[in-house]
Structure 1
């Protein structure tokens, strides 16, 4: 009996030793893998800005979100074990996915491009020309150069995989993500465009990419629809409803009849359109053409992008502005739609 107990004890100890050994082996493999580059194939150049006062946690978040490191924990552990955690510097860095973790840490301790930073904000629903005008007026870009750069996706296609899904020669209309950005005073037009495309890429991978096959639509169709939703919806809670109306119309082969597409053609956001204006010849005019326009009509924000690929489960085919707060009345048939229109 005593011998059996000893054997059980020895077996238990052996199991514990084996489990610990496996855990150590697994951790070592993970640690070694985390030190290696993200890819050994084609490198992806990534510009990253580390703001002044960033903690090691913030820096690890930025590196991980930009696909430069495999493990935030290993990055912090390696920096601390190398006694450089407190020496990581703010600045703008040009890194790439072929760099191993120690090379990235070395770059961050040397310091990146420094200088005074400035901020600019691009509102949701801005068109490409409006973005160029705003940045030019604020002294951040040369308008002609900015327009030239953004007029053809080929200028940035080698850096952004999602741009390869667009039509040949298509502009970046709709893909310059509206947000508030911090840039260095000496930032070039290319740097600013890249920043905006970086932000779009993040939203695309997080909220859009996995929904495209499910809805059987292309990226360009999703962003085009999102841009119309952005311009038509005034209240965030209604964006999925507006999206549903357009999805339902597309499914039924109905024209979208979006005033926003006509306003895009006219280059003027008129509150009321004449009948003649709704007949303006253009492939972007959804009053005379079935389906979606060839491309986006503005830069949609994240909520409109999400709504475009997540329409509400409703049967609505019409909506009309009825509330002073920008809310609409949604209906399933033309008669109810006409009755819902505010009386003049």
Structure 2
């Protein structure tokens, strides 16, 4: 009896080890079949194991539970929609569930750098995520959100949120309101403000920074040129020259014309920097981080002018004097 008991224990031990290793293997590696599953929100490891077992994706609920705990991923399994297959082993399935699947309650949208409020509203409307008019009405007055975001205290009363809805990719719930979407975008700006702007302002005005960054965003096509363009505008401001930015004229016109006429340059608007010195009263677009950093640290230069190259590169020719500027244009 004393000899049999250790043998039984040894058989059970090896049998359990064999069972564990076999349970880690794919269900069917030779004839793989895709299986779509949904993991509901709030599901724990035991509930997830049951879903996987019912859908023929794992051999053992117990082994899945043990492996999840062993790999310290018990609290990292994410809800969502997944497409798995019977050729995946247990570790591959676990990794997939840890990465996260598609949540049918969540949608994503992307706002490109340089978009204006009206463009953001139109894009959200086209994607069925917001009513453009409601969105524009809410974003037309920063006071609607001033109490929730500290940085908004630094911009003028009755100013819109132009420039402060940060361009990025966002995830929102399907039935998010216009107000919730705006708050999500302001939260992103606040994150950028705290991490990249606040300590670099050094007494400078936040609104002035974002205004100039929005112009740099619209004027610059190449990231490498943004600090240089910011340097040109800084030089013009320091010398009391008009900015003469075509981007501000386009904003005043309400359309982005490829070629501006001389009449366009005479438009009666506070955003016409060909007429008025200094910065326009508000940003003209949502600048990205590279344009913001360019204004925080503009390139030191003696250039005062620039114009777009004719080679389609999006680059610019920079000049120190007006005569050089005129000579740089073959169509003058």
Taking the aligned partners of 2:272 and 2:254, their CA distance within structure 1 comes to 13
How far does residue 217 in structure 1 lie from its aligned partner after superposition? Answer: 2.8
Rg larger for: 2
Q: Aligned pair 1:326/2:280, yes or no?
A: no
CA RMSD of aligned residues (A): 2.2
Q: Aligned pair 1:149/2:121, yes or no?
A: no
Residue of structure 2 equivalent to 1:106: none
Alignment of 1:12-23 (within 5 A): none
Residue of structure 2 equivalent to 1:249: 236
Decide which moves more: 329-338 or 204-213: 204-213
Tell me which of 243, 259, 273 is aligned to 2:246: 259
Taking the aligned partners of 2:206 and 2:201, their CA distance within structure 1 comes to 7
Distance 1:237 1:147, change over 3 A: same
Q: Aligned pair 1:290/2:256, yes or no?
A: no
Taking the aligned partners of 2:331 and 2:140, their CA distance within structure 1 comes to 43
How far does residue 341 in structure 1 lie from its aligned partner after superposition? Answer: 1.4
Paired residue secondary structure (2:262): coil
Q: Aligned pair 1:178/2:178, yes or no?
A: no
Alignment of 1:1-344 (within 5 A): 86=75, 116-213=105-202, 216-322=203-309, 323-343=311-331
Taking the aligned partners of 1:222 and 1:266, their CA distance within structure 2 comes to 23
Paired residue secondary structure (1:86): coil
Taking the aligned partners of 2:76 and 2:216, their CA distance within structure 1 comes to 46
Taking the aligned partners of 1:334 and 1:258, their CA distance within structure 2 comes to 15
Taking the aligned partners of 1:327 and 1:182, their CA distance within structure 2 comes to 34
Deviations 1:200-239 (A, max 9, x none): 11111222222222xx531000000000000000100000
Paired residue secondary structure (2:107): strand
Long gaps (5+) in structure 1 = 1-51, 54-79, 92-113
Aligned residue pairs, count: 241
How far does residue 84 in structure 1 lie from its aligned partner after superposition? Answer: 10
Taking the aligned partners of 1:341 and 1:237, their CA distance within structure 2 comes to 22
Question: TM-score, structure 2 length as denominator?
Answer: 0.69
Moved over 4 A (4+): 87-91
Taking the aligned partners of 2:248 and 2:127, their CA distance within structure 1 comes to 28
Distance 1:343 1:138, change over 3 A: same
Distance 1:234 1:87, change over 3 A: closer
How far does residue 180 in structure 1 lie from its aligned partner after superposition? Answer: 1.1
Distance 1:314 1:160, change over 3 A: same
How far does residue 343 in structure 1 lie from its aligned partner after superposition? Answer: 3.1
